[in-house]
Structure 1
Amino acid sequence: MFKKVHFIRFFSIFILLIQNDQIIAQKKELEKDKKVNLYVSMDNMRRNLENIFPYLFSEQDFKDQKNSKFILENLLAVAKGARSAENHARLKENIAAKINISILVDNLKRAEYSFKNNRKSSARYVLKSAIQSCIACHTAPSGSKNYLFKNDEKMFSKLTENEKIDYLYTTRQFTEAEKILIKRIDDFEKNNIPWVDMQKTLNYLAIYLVRVNPSAERGYEVFSKLANSMKVPKEGQQEISEWANSFKQWNLESKNHNSLSSKNLFTRIDSEIGLEPDESSLAYDPAFTINRMRYFSLIYSQLENKQVKSKETEAKSLYYLGIINNALEPFATLNIGDAYLKACVVVSPKSMEAKHCFHAFEESLKLQNSGSGGVFLLPEDLKELQYYKNLSGS
């Protein structure tokens, strides 16, 4: 017999189920809104960057007083978009992306301060450095999957070829960028392209073929073709040959089913670099460039996909991201590598990994601030070093 108490229980459960469905629906809607808002923030930043790009690569135009108001308005808008993106849950959950966006926000803050205080050369330099943060994220495996942006053709037509490549990488239009890069290599023999521009071409193409669209076979094909060119300067021939050989080795590994994976990644890196690397293993070396890019990409992917389960492994991952980045760009200022090293100390304070990360950060900071008169560190540099030294337990 269906009693009144049964009806009350049934009705209560029915109400709870409805409420639960509503909560789930609200959560889904909230996540949808967050996702949309992140893309909206990114697309707004893209539009404002489009406005700045024609001035960014010309110091004269960037410093011209008549352009100041327009540039500052767009710079402030980009900074606002970056802060909005930084607070998005998707970026907060991904420690590698979180570091990159925090560097972007910090650099945009510096650029804004310099621009407002009429230090426009400094603002321009820092803003160009900030764009490297965009490229660092957008060339990551997940960052390269979605085509989000399109060109403003009027703006795009005003850029030089080098500027177009920077812009296309910043806005994740890799297919378009690849066309320019490959054409440069195909036309190298007849077009008298300066070697310094070709070096940039090769570096961006290597990033594309290692991180964005991994292809050892394609890399070997492109770099071995250029290595045989008589127009390549003597100092460039060895570097290109080393890169070609690295792609060849990677291709052989793939064919022999011996490719790097999450299982053997740290074993390989520990043997090649280690937690106590000497100067030679950290120095820029063409023979290790492609492998280091591969290591960086695989570690980044593991952090991004939350495959790292312990704080110890997370700290070790950040350590290797830091020193590999610094080895690839040893004299870069506002270095992304240093940010990884500092994050490592924060993630696992007082640990062995934290001590290694602090030591690597200290050496990097000294390298960036050394000259003929020795090492010169500002008071704020010394204060920062002391903070991370204490946190690491060194």
Structure 2
Amino acid sequence: MTKSNRFNHLKSSTFAKTSTANTLTTQSPTEAPLRSLKQLGWNGFFQQQLITESVDYACIARVSAHHRSQYQLLTESGELSLAIHQNMPEMTVGDWLLLDKQHQFVSLLERHSLFSRKAAGSKVEQQLIAANLDWVFIVSSLNDDFNINRIERYLALVNEAKVTPVIVLTKVDLCADLTPYIEALRELDAGLLIETVNGLDKQSTQALSHYCSEGKTVAFIGSSGVGKSTLVNAMLGESNQVTSAIREDDSKGRHTTTSRSLHLTHSGGLLLDTPGMRELQLADCEDGLNETFADVVEYAKQCRFADCQHELEPGCAVQAAIANGQLSERRLHSFQKLMREQALNGASIAEKRAKDKSLSKMYKRVQGNARANKRG
């Protein structure tokens, strides 16, 4: 899906299977109002998979929360819990699943978008954040939390996931001058979608409501304390998410959301709040970086040498753009740093996957030999 057609979402088709409302047992019917699949985000992209692939299933469900030992699911008839088993594929909030009559896992449908990052800390693995999103709100507050380098990181991940980003600047009531913030963002992309809100003012947050129309899924990402949970509560019209104040000395936030979860709005949309990300490392997102830094990439194409490092080489169009004030040196250095980071992390993850695959084959071979020896 290209950037230009992300706004053109496919329309829902008539379902090939009949409803299983009579056989599905809901767990919390009073807490989970009945919704159609379309209201839960179903569209033609997923419907087509049912047509092209013959799969025996009884129920369609969407992952609304991921706990340590189970997934929470939304269906047309209410909520379900699905125990996590080792033979299941890795799944995340927003995924669509097919279940059998006993509400056991059958199949994971192909995603039209997947938002992920390198796992925090020293773990060499990819962490899935959310799937099948329509919009991602990159939330930053108008105080010391505002960091243009961090926003570039978020944009790279969102663009890699093929989802449309929206920069949401919060606490506008505490900001005397918006101009420096808007100008800094326009330097990244003149066409970037930007919204400024006061999360405690219902009228102010109304500007975000048209993104969350019926069947559309919006994810909130950003650092702790920027007001993500406050915005979720404002858009839901109720205090589903706990909130807490920032530290006044450095504007740093405290973690109030500890897990990712989908929330149904009265207008029919779905909101996904995520824990604050204090560490955000990139891996395998070269396409997302190229889109985020499209200006740098475009100048690089005009360099005399294809392998130009944009330093002291003759005929470097990137350095010429910096000298002419068309491109900032900060932007070039940020692009180069993130490109190196994503390549290094991507290689480490690929190496770990190869080792894990090799170990798995060895374990199966040893177990096979042991069974053969036992038989005699």
Name the TM tier (shorter chain).
Answer: under 0.3
Q: Which has the higher strand share?
A: 2
Larger radius of gyration: 1
Of structures 1 and 2, the one with the larger relative CO (CA 8 A, separation 6+) is 2
- The TM-score with structure 1 as length reference comes to 0.24
Q: Which has the higher helix share?
A: 1
